[in-house]
Amino acid sequence: MQKIVKIINQLTVNHPKINLGKHIDTALDGEDIWSLSNEKFYSLLRNYQAKLDAVELSNDDWEMDKILKDGMDLSLEDHDELY
C-alpha cells in the first residue's frame, strides 16, 4: 500500500496539470476495480507512470486552455461575422 501511495504522490508532483482522478482512470483503463488486488493496482500505476514519464509533455497547456476558452465564447461582436 505504501508503494501505491508513493507512486500517486510522484504522479501529482511530476505531472501537476493532470488531476489524480485522470491518473488513476488512465492507469486502470477498463480494469475491474472490484477484483483488483493491491499488487495489480501497483503494477498498473507503475506501468502508467513509466509511460507518462517517457513522454515529453509540453508546458504549452495554456494554448489548449485558450483554444477551449475561445471555443466556448460564442458571442458576436459584429453582426457582419455571420456573413
Query: pTM of the prediction?
Result: 0.63
Residue range 10-63, pLDDT digits in tens: 999 988 888 899 999 999 988 998 999 999 999 999 999 999 888 755 555 556
Cα(15)–Cα(20) distance, integer angstroms? 10
Q: Are 6 and 41 in contact (CB under 8 A)?
A: no
pLDDT of residue 47: 94
